[in-house]
């Protein structure tokens, strides 16, 4: 889900073969998401990456959620309720924002950190290690 948001594999500039990397994952290292991704999408992804496998949604739950999002995105605005309109608008806004984001790798970010377009994104080398929270989320279809 991180790769869908950023267009890049998670941790693409970190060697996956080191014990440190594996320990960092165990200790909560998680990929970042592109600026502009809807918060409910990120919360679902965080649930999928929960350290406790029992707290992770099933593949079926994720699929159903994605289907709900797809239905919302394909429905005419007039046929949506207020909450569905908010969801659709957040996805449409992400569709406008994300293609404009830089595709610069993490290694290069320090070199160009003074670039205005990058600094507006609040990019850092630190990965999000906040506690994962369960939340109700709504859906988009996976092929």
40: in domain: yes
Does 25 fall in a domain? yes
Residue 31 lies in a domain: yes
| Direct distance between the N- and C-terminal alpha carbons of the chain, in angstroms, rounded to an integer | 14
Domain range for 66 is 1-96
Joined together, the tokens standing for residue 129 give 């290690």
The answer as to whether 8 is a domain residue is yes
Cα three-residue angle 51-47-98, rounded to 5 degrees: 120
In a domain, 15, yes or no: yes
Asked if residue 28 belongs to a domain, the reply is yes
pLDDT digits (tens, 9 = 90+) for 97-108: 887 876 544 444
Higher pLDDT, 65 or 103: 65
Q: Is 139 exposed, middle or buried (0-12, 13-18, 19+ CB in 10 A)?
A: buried
Per the structure, the count of domains in the chain is 1
- With respect to residue 27, please indicate whether it lies within any of the assigned structural domains: yes
Q: What is the pLDDT of residue 43?
A: 95
19 vs 61, which has greater pLDDT?
Answer: 61
Percent of the chain with pLDDT over 90: 40
């Amino acid at each position: 889900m991180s790769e869908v948001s950023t267009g890049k594999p998670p941790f693409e500039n970190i060697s996956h073969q080191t014990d440190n990397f594996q320990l960092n994952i165990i200790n909560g290292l998680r990929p970042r998401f592109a600026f502009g991704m809807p918060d409910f999408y990120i919360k679902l992804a965080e649930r999928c990456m929960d350290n406790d496998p029992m707290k992770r949604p099933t593949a079926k739950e994720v699929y159903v959620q994605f289907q709900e999002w797809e239905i919302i995105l394909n429905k005419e605005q007039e046929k949506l309720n207020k909450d569905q309109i908010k969801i659709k608008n957040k996805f449409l806004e992400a569709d406008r924002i994300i293609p404009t984001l830089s595709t610069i790798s993490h290694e290069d970010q320090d070199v160009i950190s003074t670039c205005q377009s990058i600094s507006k994104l609040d990019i850092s080398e630190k990965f999000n290690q906040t506690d994962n929270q369960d939340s109700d989320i709504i859906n988009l279809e996976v092929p």
